[in-house]
A and B are shown apart, each in its own frame.
Chain A
């Protein structure tokens, strides 16, 4: 069945270090979204990528969508303690007609001050 895998599961960094999480799908995606969930909170939408090879930036966050539209990455430059949380990708397979997203397993980021 459809799976969206995300690695790593956990990442501990020192404040100021960079961080990257990767998302891989077993099938082609029409788009991919990224969400952030703070500890004790709920997932919050960050961005959506639609085009093959697309790159988008939000301040220190850089999002990429692979050429084959099967993988994506989120890179954070110079992490801050406010970046702490779990980052999820959510892929929308091209074969489906509904608003059904497959969420990745998430990467939990801890930033030491």
Chain B
């Protein structure tokens, strides 16, 4: 069973389009994250939700809007896509009250904007 799943795995789209990436975790964790990994492999946190509440909102353009319908799901909607949005987007989850907080990452969504 996949612990953290993301769809789609690959996304190729044109500039100006709107797209969504979905994430689901079946680990029972209460915290979920979105990360962006650029071509140089830098992992940058974008958002974090704890029990459906937004707790981390890094300096991310307003075109990016996360939505957490429940604890197990965290989706990312991107409006008016730009070339610079091309990257791999990782969803992750963790359990906040566990001692180690280790994060479990999804397989990633490779977004290519042309």
Interface of A toward B, CB cutoff 8 Å: 31, 33, 35, 37, 41-45, 48, 50, 86, 88, 90, 92, 98-103, 105-106, 108
B55 located at the interface, meaning its Cβ lies under 8 Å from any Cβ of chain A in the complex: yes
Q: Are B103 and A101 in contact (CB under 8 A)?
A: yes
Interface contacts (Cβ under 8 Å), in number, total 62
Main secondary structure of the interface of B (DSSP, over half): strand
Contacting A at CB under 8 A, from B38-58, are 40-45, 48, 50, 55-56
Decide if A106 touches B101 in the complex (CB within 8 Å).
Answer: no
Q: What's the nearest-Cβ distance from chain B to residue A85, in Å?
A: 10
Partner of A48, one of B43, B56, B100: B100
Q: Of the 9-residue stretches B60-68, B74-82, B104-112, which lies at the interface with chain A?
A: B104-112
Q: Check if A45 sits within 8 Å of B103, measured CB to CB.
A: yes
Kindly identify, within residues 88 to 114 of chain B, every residue whose CB is under 8 Å from any CB belonging to chain A.
90, 92, 94, 96, 99-108
- Mark B residues whose CB is within 8 Å of A: 31, 33, 35, 40-45, 48, 50, 55-56, 90, 92, 94, 96, 99-108
Among B41, B43, B94, B106, the residue within 8 A (CB) of A99 is B94
A42 in contact with B102 given A88-B43, A100-B45, A106-B41 (CB within 8 Å): no
In the bound assembly, the distance between CA atoms of A49 and B92 in angstroms comes to 20
In the docked arrangement, what's the CA distance between A30 and B43, Å? 20
CB–CB B102/A100 < 8 A: no
**How distant is B20 from chain A, measured CB to nearest CB, in Å?**
20
Q: From known contacts A48-B101, A92-B101, A99-B31, infer whether A42 and B107 are also in contact, taking CB-CB under 8 Å.
A: yes
Other than the known A33-B102, A99-B56, A106-B41, what 5 A-B pairs have Cβ atoms closer than 8 Å?
A: A44-B105, A45-B104, A98-B50, A99-B33, A103-B42
